[in-house]
Amino acid sequence: MTDRTARSADAAGAPEAAPSRTVLLRGGEVHSPADPFATAMVVERGHVAWVGSEGAADAFARGVDEVVDLDGALVTPAFTDAHVHTTSAGLALTGLDLTGARSLPEALGLVRAYAARRPSDRVLLGHGWDAARWPERRAPRRAELDEAARGRPLYLSRVDVHSAVVTTALLDLVPAVRARGDEPLTRDDHHAVRRAALGAVTPAQRAEAQRAALDRAASLGIGSVHECGGPDISSAEDFTALLDLAGQRPGPRVFGYWADRDLDRARELGAVGAAGDLFVDGALGSHTACLHAPYADAPHTGTGYLDAGAVAEHVAGCTEAGLQAGFHAIGDAAVGAVVEGVRAAAEKVGLERVRAARHRVEHAEMMTPATIAAFAELGLTASVQPAFDAAWGGDEGMYADRLGVERARTLNPYAAMLKAGVALAFGSDAPVTPLDPWGTVRAAAFHRTPAHRISVRAAFAAHTRGGWRALGRDDAGTLVPGAPADYAVWRTGELVVQAPDDRVARWSTDPRSGTPGLPDLSPGRELPVCLATVVGGREVFVRPQG
C-alpha cells in the first residue's frame, strides 16, 4: 500500500494527530441519538467522549482544557456531501458562473465581462448555463460565443456538465472534434474539449479553485466530501493534487473516488473506490440519459456507455479486490443495466460479498419498483441529489420537458427507496447544484412530488451518517461517545419534528418518543447559519463576529 493509498483510506484532510485538548460544549442543543435531550458534549482526542444534560456537565467543567458556551446554539454532526467535483466547483466560485443568467443576452454579457477581466487566461472557463430557463429556449450559437469571447478559446459547460458550448478557437485546439454546427457538444466530443479546456488550467488556478471549494464547504457545516474524479471528468494530476492539498491544511475530509475500470490505477492514485462517475449513461438535460422509451422532446432514447456485461465484470473485479465499485446511472435503462450487471456479479462471487462491499450508484433518478427492490437486495447505496428535484422537478420543469409530466413525476422516489431499505447518501454534484446541505435536506423533505417526500430526520441522516455508511463506515456521522468529533454549530430558530405524515410528526414531538428536533425547514423559512465547523476535534471554520 502506497503512502497516498494509506492516507486516503482515512481521508485526506483528516488531522494527522488528534488534538490533545479536552473541550466541553454546554448551554445549547446537541443533536444526538445517545440522549435526545442533550445540551452538552465533551470532545477528547478528536472524538466525542460524552453527551448529556446541563446538570451533568458540571462534573466535567473542572477537568477540561476549555469550556465553550453555546449560548443556545444547535450542535449537529457535520454534513457529508457524497458527490462533489471539487476543482470544477471551485472554478465556478472563482470564475465564470452562469447559473444566475436569466436569458441568453445576459449570459453573453457575462462572457464578455469575464473575458475582459481575464486577459491572460489560455482558455476561458465557465459553467452553469441552462437554456431551459431562458426565454429564448436555445443554447448560445458558436458565432455569438466567438464575438463575446473576442475570438479566444472558451468552454462553457451546461448546468448538468454533460454537454458544452465552445468557441471556434477552442475547437481549433482539438482537431479530433469535427463538429462545427451550433448544437452543444456531447459524448466523446464533449469529453475531448473538456480535457483540452481543463488541461489549460495552471496548477496555481487549480489550487485556488480547490481551496475555494473546500473553504465554502467548511463554511456550510460540511465536514467531509466525496470527490468524484476520473479520466473522463478531470485528470490524475487534479485528483492527486486535491488529496495532497486536503492533507496539508485544515478543512473537510476528502474521500477520493476514481471512476476507472483499471483497478490498479485507482489504487495507485489513492482512491477509496473505482467508482463515482463511471458513466453508464449521461444526463436528462443533455438528452444523454439512457431510457427505455424515447424522450418526449427528442426522437431517441439517449446514450448508453456501459452494458450489463461491463458492469458485471467491474463489480466482480472490485469485490474480489476489496474495492467499492460504483456507477453514474440516471435513465431507467441505465439503472436497469446496473442492476442486471450487479446481479450477475453476485452470482459469480456471492451475494453476501457483493452486499458487504456496499457498491454505489450515483444519481439513480429513474427508479422503478423492480429496481428499487433490487437495490435493497444487492446492498447498493443510492448516492442521490435532492436539489435536482428542486431545480428541475414539477409539472413545468425540465424533467417534464424531457419526459412528459407522468414520467417526470416518478423521478427520485426517496420515500419508496427508504421504505424498501435502500441506503441513501445525499450530495450536491457541485457544481451541478451548489454546496447547500440544509437546502438539500429541505429539497428531500419537500419534494415536488408529495409521494416521494421523506421526513427531515431521515433526510438529515442521509446527509450525515449516510455519507459515512456509503464509505463502509458505521461508526461516524452521529454524535455518540467514540465517534469522530466532526460537528457543526448552528444559529437557528425553534427545533421541530417535520414528517410528510402529520400523525408521525405529532407523535415525534411527544417527549415519550425521544425524538431530537431539527430546524424548521419549511419553504420560505431562513436556513440555519453555520457558526463553526469542527473536523476531528479541530476547528476548520469559525464565522467572523459582527
pLDDT tens across 26-40, in order? 999 999 998 989 999
Q: Give the C-alpha separation, 217 to 215, whole Å.
A: 5
Q: Give the C-alpha separation, 110 to 154, whole Å.
A: 13
Sheet (strand 487-491) strand order: 29-30, 74-77, 487-491, 529-535, 538-542
The confidence score (pLDDT) of residue 14 equals 53
Summarised one tens digit per residue, pLDDT across range 173-228 is: 888 887 767 888 888 888 888 888 888 888 988 999 999 999 999 999 999 999 99
pTM of the model: 0.90
The confidence score (pLDDT) of residue 186 equals 87
Burial 365-400 (b: 16+ CB within 10 A, else e): bbbbeebbbbbbbbbbbbbbbbbbbbbbbbeebbbb
The confidence score (pLDDT) of residue 232 equals 84
User: Which of these, 111, 72, 176, 197, lies nearest to 490 by C-alpha position?
Assistant: 72
Contacts of 457-463 with CB under 8 Å at 24 or more apart are 457/497, 457/498, 457/499, 457/508, 457/515, 457/518, 458/418, 459/386, 459/414, 459/426, 460/76, 460/518, 462/424, 462/425, 462/426, 463/79, 463/80, 463/81, 463/425, 463/426, 463/437
| C-beta atoms surrounding 108 within 10 Å | 19
Residue pair 287/298 in contact (Cβ under 8 Å)? The answer is yes
* pLDDT means over runs of 10, the chain (546 residues): 41 63 96 93 96 90 92 98 96 88 95 92 88 92 94 90 88 82 85 85 90 98 97 92 96 98 96 96 95 97 97 98 97 98 98 98 98 98 98 96 98 98 98 96 98 97 98 96 98 90 53 76 96 97 89
Q: Give the C-alpha separation, 474 to 282, whole Å.
A: 31
Q: Give the C-alpha separation, 411 to 399, whole Å.
A: 8
The confidence score (pLDDT) of residue 7 equals 40
Q: Which secondary structure element, helix H or strand E, spans residue 334, and what is its range?
A: helix 332-349
User: Which of these, 484, 487, 510, 463, lies nearest to 74 by C-alpha position?
Assistant: 487
User: Which of these, 363, 465, 469, lies nearest to 414 by C-alpha position?
Assistant: 363
Q: Give the C-alpha separation, 260 to 277, whole Å.
A: 9
Q: Which secondary structure element, helix H or strand E, spans residue 354, and what is its range?
A: helix 351-357
E-strand spans in 54-167?
66-69, 74-77, 79-84, 96-97, 124-129, 154-158, 164-166
Q: Which domains does the chain have, with CATH numbers?
A: 22-77+480-492+528-542 (2.30.40.10), 89-201 (3.10.310.70), 204-471 (3.20.20.140)
The confidence score (pLDDT) of residue 176 equals 83
